Amino acid sequence: MADGNGNGQNPIVHAGRELPSVTVDDYNVELSNEDGFIGDRVSKGAFRDLLEDGREKLRQLGDDPLGDAPSRDLGKKRLDRFMLSDDPLASGVVLGAVEEFAQELATVVRRFLRQKEWKETRAIVVGGGFSDSKAGRFAIGRASVILRANGLDVTLRPIRNHPDEAGLIGAAHLAPAWIFAGYDSLLAVDIGGSNIRAGVLVTNRKRAPDLSRATVWRSQLWRHRNEEPAPSRDEAVERLARMLRELIERAERSRLKLAPFIGVGCPGVIESDGSIARGGQNLPGNWESSRFHLPTSLAEAIPSIGGHETMVLMHNDAVVQGLSEVPNMGDYESWGVLTIGTGLGNARFSYREPPKDSPKSGG
């Protein structure tokens, strides 16, 4: 097991609360009521259920304006076209689901703001795949209006980077400072309940020391949820390792100076030793087993990069996605992130020091 970073520094601490730029005040909060986890009310599936309910009411009176395809099979672009179409029934049924979802999202945000670690939060970034659609952005904007109209001084907005890339870009903010000395790129992994994505980040740190210019140079996506039969945990890890090896080869051919570092975002509560305590139920196989340790498995599969021992550092996936916003939230001392996907990810951050270019720093 690789438990050091190869540079004589301290042993790796996964899921750290004190990161280079921010403190992680809270993450993976599981709020519930008599009906179950309230986060389930604002998942991708919950929106599709609201849409299906509206369509079913129309079917009882005549034709369904959205056709015969089940709501869960309608892609984001197709839904957006329906929402903006000239057909008033088609746009109306989608906008109705958006309004109901926005009301649910506002209710969930209120519950978070009542939690001790979330009090005084003035801004919440909403990520996940749902935010990458017009319907999603409408729902986020509408929820923000609902909250403010009810006297809550909080703003909701979609995540700035594409959600698929934000989950990789945030990994750069996990890396210790020594990683950036002599290297211009690093590996990042975003593990989700439906997909696993791996990529090479070019940090562009010379142009922007705050990592605001970090970009995804190359990435690979594996939709494990679509596999038949479902892959085992070991098959999933091997597939991920193969993706990373291919990315390393491409980076070397392009003469990138790839750091011996892999930043990983993974669902659930991540312990300081890199094990997954809970929350990995949507992943292929049992990732919460005491006999499984993803950072070790990756370090064994890729023991070195560029001749140096590989350092693997893992945190919760919503935390990592939220970290992509570190350069953008300088108007606030703290902020939150909600990621709407298979489930509802969440995290809350405070700056350790205001960004140099933010109004609060006097820059």
pLDDT in tens, 60-100: 999 999 999 999 999 999 999 999 999 999 999 999 999 99
The confidence score (pLDDT) of residue 6 equals 40
Look at residue 36 and give its three-state secondary structure: strand
Which residues are within 8 A (CB) of 240 and not within 5 positions of it... i.e. 6 or more apart? 189, 191, 196, 198, 222, 298
Distance CA 319, CA 305 (A): 25
Q: In the predicted model, is pLDDT for residue 344 greater than 60?
A: yes
240-274 burial, b for 16+ CB within 10 Å, e for fewer?
Answer: bbebbeebbeebeeeebebbbbbbbbbbbbbeeeb
pLDDT at 356 over 70: no
Region 126-139 average pLDDT: 95
Q: Which of 117-131, 248-262, 349-363 has the lowest mean pLDDT?
A: 349-363
pTM: 0.91
- What is the spatial distance between Cα 360 and Cα 17, in angstroms, rounded to a whole number? 23
* pLDDT for 347 beyond 90: yes
The rounded distance, in Å, linking the Cα atoms of 4 and 9 is 7
pLDDT category at 240 given cuts 50, 70, 90 is very high
pLDDT beyond 90 at 3: no
Q: Which CATH superfamily is 1-32+121-363 part of?
A: ATPase, nucleotide binding domain (3.30.420.40)
Assess whether pLDDT exceeds 50 at residue 23: yes
High-pLDDT (> 70) share of the chain, %? 94
Q: Taking residues 131-145, report their average pLDDT.
A: 96
Predicted confidence (pLDDT) per residue in 97-110, tens digit: 999 999 999 999 99
- Write down the pLDDT at residue 234: 95
C-beta of residue 147 within 8 angstroms of C-beta of residue 336:
no
Helix axes 134-149, 76-83, angle to 10 degrees: 60
- Percent helix, strand and coil across the chain, each to the nearest 5: 40, 20, 40
Rounded average pLDDT over 26-36: 87
- Of the pLDDT bands very low, low, confident and very high (cuts 50, 70, 90), residue 4 is very low
State the pLDDT at residue 359. Answer: 43
Q: What is the pLDDT of residues 155-198, one digit of tens each?
A: 999 999 999 999 999 999 999 988 898 999 999 999 998 899 99
For residue 50, count other CB atoms closer than 10 A to its CB: 20
Question: What average pLDDT does range 297-313 have in this prediction?
Answer: 96
Predicted pLDDT at 343:
85
In the chain, what are the domain boundaries?
A: 1-32+121-363
* Average pLDDT of the chain, as a whole number: 92
Band of pLDDT at residue 38, cut at 50, 70 and 90? confident
